[in-house]
Structure 1
Amino acid sequence: MAVNAEQAEDWNGASGREFIEQRERHEQMLGRLRARLLAAAAIQDGEYVLDVGCGCGETTILAARAAGSGHALGADFSRIQVAEARRLAAAAGVANARFEVADVQVHPFGAGVFDVALSSFGVMFFDDPAVALGNLRKALRRGGRLAFVCWRTRAENPVFTTGFDAAAAILGLREMPGPGAAFSLADTARAGALLSGAGFGGMEFVKADEPMLIGRDVDDVLAYERTSPTATEILTGLSPAQGDELTRQVRDRLMTYASPGGVVMPGAAWLVTAQAV
């Protein structure tokens, strides 16, 4: 059963394919933030863990290893990413990780099944976050732990403001991008109210600021940006001259973050922890 139809369509389509193709890049980008998430989750041997919006399963696999004699379930409504997650877990020999195509907002996990629920940037996309968090609370035992990372504002994260969509808006070729679903939990007052209403207590919001290595050099990142679904859509509707100017604008923006070690941008997230009450 799925209710987040628009998101499911996107993550089973262009966005999901891009994440699979760029999986290793995204791992290096988010590795420091994922490490902080796992440290905050403090998974113990024998615990049952739910990874929300597991994508290609990297966090689930790490959680399964930490759980030892327990197990980790990765849930995502992207069939293509779940298939990739299963492949990666099998290749890594992690037998206590399993994956399910599921819309966490409504999936019947059962009551009090999990000790820990965690998510690496997978909790921001629900049509009804109150219902989704309520379903997560039901799946956790009393006293169970919730830990997730979510983006702070777009303005604090240049990875979202240096690409083709923002450059096209500056050139007057399209409207400036709105806040978007990725930033739906950036407001801690709203996120805290949602968590409290769903039956969580002891909420803590910690600023997680970590450098993100986007690519080895500007040309590498520019090629990555050009192949994104958004850039493909924009460039298709432009003349060659407009496309060249837009590409130059993006290149100039990326140069700001270039260094001998690669293109590195600051990443600004919330590391959120709470307890099921």
Structure 2
Amino acid sequence: MFDYDSELARHHERLLEALGLRPGDRVLDIGCGTGRTTRDAARAASPGTALGIDLSEPMVARARLQAEAEGLGNVDFVQGDAQSHAFPPEYFTLAVSRFGTMFFGDPVTAFANIGRALRPGARFVQLVWQAADHQEWHTAIRAALSPGPASSASAPAGEDPFALADPQVVTEALTGAGLTAVDVVDVHEPVCYGPDAERALAAVLQLRMAREWIGDLDAVSAERALDRLRVALDAHDTGAGVWFDSRAWLVVARRG
């Protein structure tokens, strides 16, 4: 399982700063993955609570095990779709998502469902990727594994990590869902794929995009692509990890 917590460590710090968690908060974590953000929120909000939701049962299972190992009794996880899950109405004081909202098939419907779960005045804070050409991790890996011209076809709904890259698109989706006071702030932080190039290679090959690009190649072309990827990872090995530049949007909205 890919280690998103290590990849997104710098972004995670920025997100926690923006949350401004307070004791007694009731936090909803959308697309929680293995639950790092949910658990950190639970600690900061105690004696409040945190609930994480994610489509992936393996990730939710790992999140539960980690919370138990850390002795957190005020955190819970549910496997489900935040777009349609029946959250308790007007219950949560804060909603958060660390790169988990770009994959909704219908963002307006999803944001409206999340909004109904928030108390009036509560914030919804999310990180989403900016455009693909602002992501060195995407452009460098793609250049290595799929060096031909980029396809002009759009990714199917629910599969595009850059679906909310346009601030106007995410703003319109949030306001269309009834949320207000939308604020979009640039976040410029690198991502890390491992402590060294060898382990970064193993990590990258767990990514869906990498598997799909290699899967389109014959055996000889695939080996050449892997050689190019090794060169790219070596070039980004700082001696303190393999880092690639990236840009995200920190998006904040409120339940009216």
Is the shorter-chain TM-score for this pair beyond 0.5, marking a shared fold? yes
Residue 196 of structure 2 is matched in structure 1 by 217
Please state if 1:187 is matched with 2:166: yes
Contact 1:170 1:176 in 2 (8 A): no
Query: CA-to-partner distance for each residue in 1:72-92, whole Å, 9 max, x for gaps?
Result: 000112111111110010001
Letter in 2 for 1:88: Q
Q: CA separation in 1, counterparts of 2:226 and 2:8?
A: 25
1:133 aligns with 2:140: no
1:153 to 125, 131, 145: 131
Rate the CA distance shift 1:188–1:46 in 2: closer, same or farther, 3 A: same
CA change 1:171–1:132 in 2 (3 A) is: closer
Q: Quick one: which amino acid aligns to residue 261 of structure 1?
A: A
Which amino acid letter does the alignment assign opposite residue 41 of structure 2? Answer: A
Counterpart AA for 2:192: L
CA deviations 1:39-76 (Å, max 9, x no partner) are 21112111111000111111000000111111000011
> Where does residue 103 of structure 1 map in the other structure?
81
1:208 to 171, 187, 202: 187
1:22 equivalent to 2:2? Answer yes
Match of 2:56 in 1: 78
Contact 1:166-1:176 at 8 Å conserved across structures: no
Q: Distance in 1 between matches of 2:168 and 2:15?
A: 21
Contact 1:169-1:176 within 8 A present in 2 as well: no
Single out whichever of 211-220 and 86-95 deviates more from structure 2: 211-220
How far apart are 1:273 and its partner, in Å?
1.1
After superposition, residues 189-268 of structure 1 pair within 5 angstroms as 189-235=168-214, 238-268=217-247
With the length of structure 1 as denominator, give the TM-score of the two structures.
0.84
Range 208-217 or range 126-135, more displaced: 208-217
Cα deviation code 1:101-126 (max 9, x no counterpart)? 12111111122011000011111111
1:170 and 2:150 matched: no
The corresponding residue for 1:44 is: 22
Change in 2 beyond 3 A, CA 1:129/1:91: same
Name the structure with the higher helix share. 1
Q: Secondary structure at the match of 1:192?
A: helix
Asked if the contact 1:169/1:175 (under 8 Å) is kept, the reply is no
Query: 1:12 maps to which residue?
Result: none
Tell me the SS of whatever aligns to 2:242: strand
8 Å CA contact 1:49, 1:117 repeated in 2: yes
Distance in 2 separating the partners of 1:205 and 1:231 = 30
Whole-angstrom CA distance in 2 between matches of 1:67 and 1:177: 43
3-state SS of paired residue (1:118):
strand
Aligned residues: 253
Q: Evaluate the alpha carbon distance shift between residue 177 and residue 66 of structure 1 in structure 2; reply closer, same or farther with a 3 A threshold.
A: farther
**For residues 254 and 212 of structure 2, what CA distance do their matches in structure 1 show?**
42
Structure 2 contact 197–233 (Cα < 8 Å) conserved: yes
In 2 relative to 1, CA 67–272 (structure 1 residues): closer, same or farther, beyond 3 Å?
same
Q: Report the Cα distance in structure 1 between the residues aligned to 2:132 and 2:59, rounded to whole angstroms.
A: 25
CA–CA distance in 2 between the matches of 1:162 and 1:176? 18
